[in-house]
Amino acid sequence: MPETTYVKAVLRALDEAMAADERVIVLGEDVAEGGPYTTTAGLADRYGRDRVINTPISEGAITGVAIGAAQSGLRPVLEIMFIDFITLALDQLANQAAKAHLMSGGQLTVPMVLRTQGGAGQRGAAQHSQSLEAWLTHVPGLKVVMPADPADAAGLMASAIADPGPVVFVEHKGLYFQRGEVPEVIEPVPIGKARIVREGRDVTIVALSRMVGEALKAADRLAAEGIEAEVIDPRTLVPLDLEAIVESVQRTNRLVIAHEAVAHGGVGGEIAAAVQAAAFDHLDAPIERVGAPFAPVPLSPPLEDLYVPGRDEIHEAALATLGRAEPRRSATHDGGGGAMRMDPGWRRLRALLAVMLAAVLAFAFAACGDDDEGSDTGASTAAAAPADTGASTAAAESTTTEASKCGLGNGEKATGEPIKLGSINTKQPGTDFSEVALAAEAYFKCVNDNGGINGRPIEYIIETEQTDPGQVASLAKKLVETEKVVGIVGSTSLIDCAVNHQYYEKQGYYVIGSGIAPECYTTPNHAPVNMGPRHSSAGAAQELMKQGVKKIVFDQSNVPGTEYIDEGVRLTVEAEGIPYESLKDNVPIQDANSVALKLVQAAGDGGGVVLNFTPPEALKILQAAEQQGLAERVKWACSTPCNTDFLAEALGSSWDEQLFVNAELNLIDADGPDMQLYREVMEKYAPDVPLGSFSQMGFLEARIATEALIGIEGEITPRTVNAAFVDVANFETDILCKPWYYGDAPLHIPNNVDRTVTPKDGKMVQYTDCFDISDADPYIKDVRKIEADMGIE
């Protein structure tokens, strides 16, 4: 039999049912576009939108319409995309669909299937990760199905659609890319018939949905210890094949019941009670139950991993039935009965919380006791000698010959009238560039502790915006006309360059910042230290093309300016004759599982995916890909924001040399005078700001501006300051692959030579040394001509 995935098995079953019976319709949110997990992909094209119906975002309305359609002779399959949202449809489901046949004296039937997705482990937090199947099993008149593999997903779906009554079909998000054999012609699997997945003689393990796979892993471990476990998948909870479970227990004399749902009030309790009544004399040990703690699903990845039960808990429970481990009791709440022995999952959860709390308190106390006067980090003077960081590859060698220092580096505190500089940064949910300005501020603080600008301190004013053009325009005027800043340094905004570049030109201001929008590169009065998301994303695509991918899919935040970014990647990829597809996703990302699934399906086998998101958003997608077994299906790359050890550490060893990040700047632990000073400055003046590309940008922008200011002879005014900025040429730094420059030119992309980094052992290390960004992009081609005319190599 051919192999396919769980998600495609569901789609095939729907497709075959719709082809065989025109009464079968599909309805739900976005189902015509494939739904959140592509389980309905292509059905609208084949059967039309009168049979594949997008609905409003109202679970009660969707369910009510489906009930009415079923009573009118159709066979609807509706989708509630998260089982958490079934709470909004319970009145329709429990009081109408489940009771209609009985209350009408058999005159009405409700042949409908309610598809929904449950399960944790996907970083969906408390409202998108629950397992609520126990609620549904308590409603007479509903059948409840929970397939655990692709064959059952297809076969049970066929049976559910053919059933004369309402069936709730609970899929698990974490199983969607599990592969398995499915017949070319789908064979219906009877509802109410369990299957023995593995035979054994010593203990019976009844496992639901995702836990079937975990039970098999536990059984393998038990077998290595001389214990043969029999694993049973009930497949359907209502009706429950109690006979198969009891028959197994009568042979093994021991029972473990495992489900992902909260143990208290879970289906496991009902199964245990039923087996106890039917096979009490055959039990040689108390029945053990494995389930989640009585708490909402945590958002924190480490806490969620600890919260979700799996093979370890099943293995321990099986040993307990054999007297080889301390007897367990399922997790419960304080009102759940008498004194209960604490479940090991709770012990681990409490232990982890205690460790985290202790770490937070220790950090807080250390921060309170480490003031500037009592701390000696060495940041106030020249950087220490380069240390051996143990990175697997070396960064580009520094072009500087002297140790870097903060400004004058004399250790004397600056006094007198401050020199005002300002910046504008986007800071909103899902898009936060404020780390750039905070790093610049840290460097300026170090400058002020080391003589300032020829004795005068810098006052740095940071403004943040939420992509409101009116707000951004007013902030620029505030800085220039009210605050009287003499220069703009460290600005990193989605729309500042677009909204204010003409205003800055009119006022004679030349910005040293980080570029996002097109105008940050294509106007004479803005020079970024980064090459920006357009060229960084193109560089990431170049790396994947070197590795021979067959197609590139580019996904980025659905925010202003993304068409400009997309164009550069598309031109670079299409110049090599490789298929290209562009996608966007709203941030903050709410459903990383469906995003990861969509990207991998779009790229196809042998394809590549390039992400352009801030680190937290990229991390959601990458972790979701790993959770669903998608990480190795395609090659993955990322633009510059992913160049942070935070991401490398959070991803873990499974992503070592599996993610390729275009690093517009340098490795975090690279040797070189500027990189050493950067780390020391950040440690002393901004310890809460992560080391990474964003903070490197801010540090470098402040350093460039400081050197320009120190070189001014005479009065410090907006005119002299901005003239000094424009005159910066051949600024050598080990943070970039080539010297930085400003100059009088119609566009500025001084950083256009780059390297690739990759995670390894919790850090980003170099993968590819400095290389030219492709001049298939006309902006890169033009800037190379400008550099040639200026004599820059």
CA distance 706 to 409: 12
382: nearest Cα among 409, 412, 413: 409
Q: Are 115 and 167 in contact (CB under 8 A)?
A: no
From the list 29, 59, 171, 304, the catalytic residue is: 59
For the chain, what's the residue count?
A: 793
Q: Which residue in the block uniquely carries the two structure tokens 């992560």?
A: 690
The total of other beta-carbon atoms located within 10 Å of residue 69's CB is 20
From the list 29, 101, 128, 316, the catalytic residue is: 128
CA distance 97 to 118: 21
CA distance 52 to 34: 10
Burial-class residue 283 by CB neighbours within 10 Å (0-12, 13-18, 19+). Answer: middle
Helices (H), 72-119: 90, 100-103
Q: Are 463 and 422 in contact (CB under 8 A)?
A: yes
DSSP-derived 3-state class of residue 563: helix
CA angle 64, 67, 71 (to 5 degrees): 140
CA gyration radius, the chain: 31
CA distance 356 to 377: 26
- What does the DSSP assignment read for 444-463? HHHHHTTTTBTTBPEEEEEE
Cα atoms in the 13 Å half-sphere on the side-chain side of 281: 0
* 59 a catalytic residue: yes
CA distance 616 to 650: 10
Q: Are 593 and 622 in contact (CB under 8 A)?
A: no
- What does the DSSP assignment read for 476-535? HHIIIIIS--SEEEEEB-SSHHHHHHHHHHHHT--EEE---SGGGTSSTTEEESS-HHHH
CA angle 703, 709, 713 (to 5 degrees): 150
- Measured between alpha carbons, how far apart are the two ends of the chain, in Å? 61
Q: Are 765 and 393 in contact (CB under 8 A)?
A: yes
The total of other beta-carbon atoms located within 10 Å of residue 632's CB is 11
* 683 a catalytic residue: no
CA distance 501 to 507: 10
The one-letter amino acid at 337: G
CA distance 752 to 539: 10
Q: Which residue in the block uniquely carries the two structure tokens 């077994």?
A: 629
Burial-class residue 547 by CB neighbours within 10 Å (0-12, 13-18, 19+). Answer: exposed
CA distance 215 to 257: 10
Contacts of 13 (CB under 8 A, 6+ apart): 153, 154, 155, 157, 158, 161, 186
User: How are beta strands 763-772 and 753-760 bridged, if at all?
Assistant: antiparallel
Residues identified as active-site = 59, 128
